[in-house]
Amino acid sequence: MKVLLFTGLGALFFAYYWADNFDPGGLDYLVLNHLGAAPAGTWTRSVHRTSWLMQVNFLSYVQLTSLALPSLTDSKGSLVVVSSLLGRVPTSFSSPYSAAKFALDSFFGSLQRELDVQDVNVAITMCILGLRDHASAAEGVRGVTRVKAALGPKAALAVIRGGATRVSRVFYPWRFHMLCLLRTWLPRPKAWFIRQELNATATAAA
């Protein structure tokens, strides 16, 4: 079994500078889990910053997928895309980051349907995760959110289990599935719920 896991900004370098030399032959799993983070806060109207986030958090995923898809098709493999709750439910103080994650969800959702129509046996698992307990994530939202960070190893286990069982969606923590459903069913209670988990005063002061 051959698994290729991308994390960190090294994946961006790989996608755009090593593409001509990349041979993913025999690949069974491609796991995309790299991101460019942005501190939570009101939008600074920086097009450059927004463009950079789209490059890291969306376009590099597309590039790496285009390189690996022929090999995954041959092996009937799996593509695991680690995304965020902010790609399903927009919230305050995360506009550029949320936009990139929404693009991920739309692109891979559409790709999944295209592969189904073409009878291509490649599984795509979208992993919708919340805040995790690593230093960079905690620093980016310090003083802004009241949400308790999930344990990183448990989130990783949920991703591994989802990829291994070839399910289309993974939600961790599980309650995020209900929150995503509420986005359509009850938009006002959802907005109220989100406001309870944000410290708007601290963000405005920042």
Any idea which residues carry the catalytic annotation? 97
Q: What is the DSSP string of 50-104?
A: HHHHHIIIIIHHHHHHHHHHHHHHHHT-EEEEEEEGGGTS--TT-HHHHHHHHHH
Burial of 28 (0-12, 13-18, 19+ CB in 10 A): middle
Rounding to the nearest 10 degrees, give the CA dihedral for residues 30, 33, 35, 41.
Answer: 140
DSSP 8-state secondary structure symbol assigned to residue 26: T
* Radius of gyration (C-alpha) of the chain in whole angstroms: 17
Residues present in the chain in total: 206
Q: Residue 144: beta bridge partners?
A: none
Backbone angles phi, psi at 152, to 5 degrees: -55, -50
Q: What is the DSSP string of 31-47?
A: EE-------SSS----H
Q: Which two tokens stand for residue 31?
A: 């796991």
